[in-house]
Structure 1
Amino acid sequence: MKKRICILYTGGTIGMVPTDRGYAPKPGALAQYLKAIPDLASPEAPAWELVEMEPLLDSSNITVREWRAIGQAIFDHYDRFDGFVVLHGTDTMAYTASALSFMLENLQKPVIFTGSQIPLCRMRSDGRDNLITSLLIAAQGRAAEVCLYFGGKLLRGNRAVKRSADGLEAFYSPNWPPLATAGVNIQYDAGALAKPKATGELTLAAFEPVPIGVLKVFPGIQFELFESILTERLRGIVLETFGAGNIPDNGKSTLLPLIQRAYKNGTVLTVCSQCAQGSVHLGTYATSAALKDAGAVSGQDMTTEAAVAKLYYLFSKGYELEEIKRKVEENLRGEIS
């Protein structure tokens, strides 16, 4: 019997149409594009069904509300399908894939995010291969986790980073190997795939729009300019530091007093690196020891996208502050090596 795959279209370049203001999603357009791809009717293709989200959005407009809607759609259709292909715009795809990796608890079926840099309405669209290969991967069932497929590589969703605005190999995974590579055959890396989970029903962790910020350190940064946002309302901060977790420490920096105040306010500060590869090691250098002393926690080798999604998840679960800080540094969904 053929495997059944749900194609969940959220918007994004792959199904857009040209307008007077540039490419934009249009309800019903993707269904017409899919009818024009003969491979999707091939005997080798799994059975599939298209579900369109409403409204369709450019991924720049995706928020926590849309994350919840996508998660709910997968949850509602979970028993009817063997896997899911989520068509999504590339700009925030890594954020949404990271969010869904935490939101879908006890996931035991493939959820493959993909899209394109060129719309299906264009001759050279990369969307055809991305979609067809994603369908096959979802049907094969070996990657029973949230993944991102693009340009011949299957990546863990919460390890992926967008690296190119116009290249067809738009994503990469700096700190974890590809789960599979698609050439003549689809070759899986068994050691990179998530280990099969014990049986259990899928549950959906409903994310709340918790106030979370991202702050990138740069030479000469005047931290006092950000003082007004570091209030008790801000629940979490992802701080993108230099190297292995380093910050300016010339005796004039106002960052540490701000961090100490945030700590007293109950804000969780997660330290990630601006370097794509490598890990944060608080205390290795004197310029990072102060962060550790001020109560910051290490994001280790998490991407910023994964760190943001993880904070939303942990706060939405209602954990106590110390438990959140502990779990930030704990590997929950393969997001930390």
Structure 2
Amino acid sequence: MNSPKHLAVYYTGGTIGMQQTPAGLAPAANLASLAAPIFQEYSHQLKCDWFICEPLIDSSAITLSNWETWLNWIDSKAENYDGLLILHGTDTMAYSANIIALARPQLNIPIILTGAMLPLEADNSDAPQNLRTALAAFSLPGFTQTAIAFNRQLWPAVGSSKISTEQADAFANPQFGSLAQWSESEGWFNTNLPVAGNSDLSAQYDISTSARIHCFTLTPGANLAMITASLTHNPPDGVILQSYGNGNTPNDRNFLTAIRQISEQSIPVLNISQVLQGCASAVYAQGHELRAAGVINGGKCNLETAVAILTLAVSNNWNKEQIENLLHTQKLI
């Protein structure tokens, strides 16, 4: 009989562990005791050590400093554990999953994020199901990447998004689909795990807590003059453009000039599609001048992935070629 795998569980906050206070729901520190009966179901497979983030936070309050702290925690535990489980609020779970997957791409252990739409103690909570899905994933043969476990699905971190605030089926990965599905009766099925390749197991990337990434979403009638002024007079460290369709924008002279000028200053501009299953690519002539201005086509990047990529690019002084190489590596372009 195989010995149980040793897991580190990191509770960061979020709805899953919240309890009612006079001011409303707030993260509580006793989640480990509340969740103990569920974890006990897997005690023959898993031995779990709990770690509590201080302070516990609502995930809508996450900062780059939190990400830096969590990556340091991952670094401190990865060599001594067979897997890491991160309990996280749902609002920014996909952002955190993307940054962890891209900043620590080669740890060669499963890192799973999960949470819940309702507190564990609430009636009809989805928390027990999500915890069981996450815990079961650590026994999935060949699984050694960062993923989100939610509503009986295992989603690859890169490309993942929160798609609902109303349903238990709150996450998806429109570009890459799920890695596997799970049920208590059947276990794992419809598995689609990537084949591990040869790579540098020492690869890891830091986060600068001062990195400034600005995102501009284009809409009909959007004030391009305001966007242009922001880029010209208060340039950030990196820019995400959420453009139309296959990466198209208006051919406004001043706007394109501003894009060209910040690109010439080695400020990366990543162009992504607003479409849920979109791809920014060189398809239409309408986007030609934008590409000529120096933007990077984000391909299949969603917003969460784009934020992670540019945060790492700025933090590690990547040039355009290095960003494009990462996009290729992640099969985004």
TM-score normalized by structure 1? 0.90
Tell whether the 8 Å contact from 1:302 to 1:335 is kept in structure 2 after alignment. Answer: no
Tell whether the 8 Å contact from 2:245 to 2:273 is kept in structure 1 after alignment. Answer: yes
Counterpart residue type for residue 240 of structure 1: Q
Query: Could you tell me which residue of structure 2 aligns to residue 285 of structure 1?
Result: 284
Divergent runs of 4+, >6 A: none
Query: Could you tell me which residue of structure 1 aligns to residue 104 of structure 2?
Result: 104
Cα separation, 2, equivalents of 1:180 and 1:44: 22
Query: Could you tell me which residue of structure 1 aligns to residue 294 of structure 2?
Result: 295
Query: Could you tell me which residue of structure 2 aligns to residue 336 of structure 1?
Result: 332
Query: Could you tell me which residue of structure 2 aligns to residue 257 of structure 1?
Result: 257
* 1:176 matched to 2:172: no
Instruction: Give the number of aligned pairs.
Output: 327
Query: Could you tell me which residue of structure 2 aligns to residue 11 of structure 1?
Result: 13
Tell whether the 8 Å contact from 2:228 to 2:255 is kept in structure 1 after alignment. Answer: no
Tell whether the 8 Å contact from 1:72 to 1:204 is kept in structure 2 after alignment. Answer: no
Q: Could you tell me how far 1:296 is from its partner in structure 2?
A: 0.7
Query: Could you tell me which residue of structure 1 aligns to residue 238 of structure 2?
Result: 236
Counterpart residue type for residue 302 of structure 2: T
Query: Could you tell me which residue of structure 1 aligns to residue 276 of structure 2?
Result: 276
Matches within 5 A, 1:311-330: 311-319=310-318, 321-327=319-325, 330=327
Tell whether the 8 Å contact from 2:272 to 2:302 is kept in structure 1 after alignment. Answer: yes
Query: Could you tell me which residue of structure 2 aligns to residue 94 of structure 1?
Result: 94
Cα separation, 1, equivalents of 2:64 and 2:197: 27
Q: Could you tell me how far 1:273 is from its partner in structure 2?
A: 0.4
Query: Could you tell me which residue of structure 1 aligns to residue 148 of structure 2?
Result: 148
Query: Could you tell me which residue of structure 1 aligns to residue 225 of structure 2?
Result: 224
Tell whether the 8 Å contact from 1:39 to 1:45 is kept in structure 2 after alignment. Answer: no
Q: Could you tell me how far 1:17 is from its partner in structure 2?
A: 0.9
Query: Could you tell me which residue of structure 2 aligns to residue 164 of structure 1?
Result: 164
Q: Could you tell me how far 1:38 is from its partner in structure 2?
A: 4.8
Q: Could you tell me how far 1:130 is from its partner in structure 2?
A: 0.7
Tell whether the 8 Å contact from 2:106 to 2:200 is kept in structure 1 after alignment. Answer: yes
Tell whether the 8 Å contact from 1:5 to 1:135 is kept in structure 2 after alignment. Answer: no
Q: Could you tell me how far 1:227 is from its partner in structure 2?
A: 3.2
* Counterpart secondary structure, 1:84: strand
Say if 1:272 and 1:199 are closer, same or farther in 2 by CA, change over 3 A: closer
Counterpart residue type for residue 94 of structure 2: A
Q: Cα deviation per residue 1:140-188 (whole Å; 9 max; x = unaligned)?
A: 3532111011111111111111110121000011111210111222125
**Where does structure 2 lack aligned partners over 5 or more consecutive residues?**
none
Q: Could you tell me how far 1:138 is from its partner in structure 2?
A: 2.0
Query: Could you tell me which residue of structure 2 aligns to residue 20 of structure 1?
Result: 22
Cα separation, 2, equivalents of 1:33 and 1:204: 35
Cα separation, 2, equivalents of 1:63 and 1:79: 26
Cα separation, 2, equivalents of 1:78 and 1:43: 20
Query: Could you tell me which residue of structure 1 aligns to residue 249 of structure 2?
Result: 247
Tell whether the 8 Å contact from 1:106 to 1:201 is kept in structure 2 after alignment. Answer: yes
Counterpart residue type for residue 300 of structure 2: D
Cα separation, 1, equivalents of 2:41 and 2:151: 22
**Where does structure 1 lack aligned partners over 5 or more consecutive residues?**
none
Say if 1:6 and 1:94 are closer, same or farther in 2 by CA, change over 3 A: same
* Counterpart secondary structure, 2:142: coil
More off after superposition, 202-211 vs 142-151: 202-211
Say if 1:281 and 1:204 are closer, same or farther in 2 by CA, change over 3 A: closer
More off after superposition, 174-183 vs 201-210: 201-210
Counterpart residue type for residue 328 of structure 2: N
Q: Could you tell me how far 1:323 is from its partner in structure 2?
A: 3.2
